[in-house]
Amino acid sequence: MPKLKTRRSADKRYRKTKNKKFIYKRPYKAHILEKKSQKQKRHMRTKGLVCKGESKNIHLMLPY
C-alpha cells in the first residue's frame, strides 16, 4: 500500500492532542488590535478545539 500524503496546509493549522482531538489557533489576532476589546483579545489567546464533524475531515488530511 502506498504512503499517504499529508495536506501541508492542514499540518500548519492543526495540531493533534494525546486523545487524538485537534486544536487550532483562533483567528483575528494578527492585526487591527486597537479597536478590539481586551476581553475579545484575551479570548483569542486560547486554543480552539475542533468539533467532531470537522475532525473527521482533518483526520483524513493528517493521516500521521
What cell numbers appear for 48 in the block? 480552539
**pLDDT tens per residue, range 44-56:** 999 999 999 999 9
**What's the whole-number mean pLDDT along residues 27-48?**
96
pTM value is: 0.81
Residue extents of the structural domains in the chain: 14-48
pLDDT at 1 over 90: no
Task: Find out whether 48 and 22 touch, Cβ atoms under 8 Å.
Answer: no
Taking the C-alpha atoms of residue 36 and residue 50, their distance in angstroms, rounded to an integer, is 24
3-class secondary structure for 1-59?
A: CCCCCCCHHHHHHEEECCCCCEEEECCCCCCCCCCCCHHHHHHHHCEEECCHHHHHHHH
pLDDT at 40 over 90: yes
